[in-house]
Structure 1
């Protein structure tokens, strides 16, 4: 199944509130015939846009292609949260790699947030501060408080504010959780506006963009030979190729496909709440909880509640996405029963076995990054810059991320569908039972 086309109309953004509240770019023509470039970037989400932008600003000739549209994938339809740190917390990283490596990975993640803020400012896209973490159990609350103290003591990061049950309830407008914290160094953004803003910056830097251009094979050259990127309507002859397709990349590279598994997620948006329900997110922070299939939410500038959650054990989107997500929304905000949902959409992200992003060099002149596991707004943007740096011979940051071991999923890419069914059934049951 080609996830590029399985659930969406070709060349159209999903029916999201983002697409309805964002000025689109003029459609870029498909690639025709042969073209040459220093670097071909495959995938026009945050990873590819960032890579193309930074390469072009460094003087490289760049061609950026996407089978659909700029920002079509997870970059243009996600929850918009710009989280701190890596997908795994620093205690997990310290146990496996030691504190020095954990600090290096934390520093890279801080660079990621700073980069997003910089590009958003250049693009005129506002970022709101604060992401709350809502814990379901007392031990999770205690762990969060320990992590806040640990970050302050050993990482110089004092922006996480622990909250008890009542304080979190006042912060969220919900009694559903045992407590948690709010990270004032994190933030949230209109994700499609950010992607299109990055695209405008890339165009201004000289990047050539082609939409509706599906890459079906790459012929890697040796260290000094040209690489050929073969598309459905033409080909790119280049010195370097960057794979930035993430959950939509398919089996373009077999080793990456075995380690980066697509997974679907679903989001709804309510009608504008106006002056109703002033208790919901009164400080306009975003929020996410500790379920494996995470619930995450925020208010947009029109006071719509944008809420993501829910799982299904197939790569096909359900016929009624709103019906799938609504029970999860009401489990957090029962007071919204009867509130109209104006938008409902799905999207495909990608996860790895250890939930850490997968950076790799599939060939001497090819770089890849993906598998952000729901932590991609910041990390994907950083990944693009790190790959641009690596093309220029400055690979320290890229190599630090690539050094994280990445086990293949059992059975590799060929068992994706049955593995997804089994995994989502198991973790969905864990979430419903509360452990």
Structure 2
């Protein structure tokens, strides 16, 4: 038997899922990937991730997402194929989904899921600085990138010894080790005005106008609707972000939580007809507000290459698929956001406005696909910008700030053969 990634099996004539393997085989690979022993269920129920998902059905856990990437091909594996960046691709040239190595062993790096659809928190004993120093740090960080790509966002508590430079290093390596193109590095935000404190690739999140290198809009520009802030980082760039990390060094006594929502789960709330229509659409994203802020407050707009040769100039606009495939997981999710998405290109303006408002509400109005995180001092969040959106909560007084690093991925694409998360789990559990 040969382990294959899901994307490499999409066009195979005969495939088997993980559940077709022997119990001993399944136990070996479940333990390797999740740190948990596999045990057969007492009976085989109908798939719980059917289209008509019961409200009482158990939602996927971290171990379920690990299983999604396991397939067994009875006909044997093809020779690996690679693109010009050295990334493995499938028979059609799309990136092959990644399989974890087992280096991020849950017994060594304990963690727990915060919500069924999104969010995993590591035990405070897990320190990112120690992971960087580990002899197998590359394997651990690659597996961490895979975990983040499935779970959306992960949290590390009390990262007191982690420096801003180490935060940037972790973020950059997550992208590199999970297959980012060679031309993609760390992003330079167009409003980053001063790099003297922490280096040019480390941004500042601050609610103080005078903060050195601050990148976030000011208090007098906030909407009265808290949900207006939902966004995916820098989706206005031709090559947007895949991973972002934030370490909070200044917190108010209470408030200032951040929410994340799963784009995978938002996609799954679409009717089949709506999903099919949107899978053929693109949308324009732009950030004209940053140019206005730069002019108003005297910030220089960064017009040089912002982490990728395509992210250059003062035209802060790009067109991306409305439904996007995550190259790490092979799963598809909704890729529009209220802050930067302005128009679905294939629809009339009136149609676009109505559809976009509905899609925004799929994110903001569904708390079952969200996780809300209460920050502690020196906590770190790392999230997938490919498959999540996030929103800060401005319910506090006093300073709130942190160090931020953003890595760049690929030009967004939609793979017609990609699956929803439910479809992938159904296939993994199929008889």
TM-score scaled by length of structure 2: 0.28
- Higher fraction of strand: 1
TM-score scaled by length of structure 1: 0.27
- Higher fraction of helix: 1
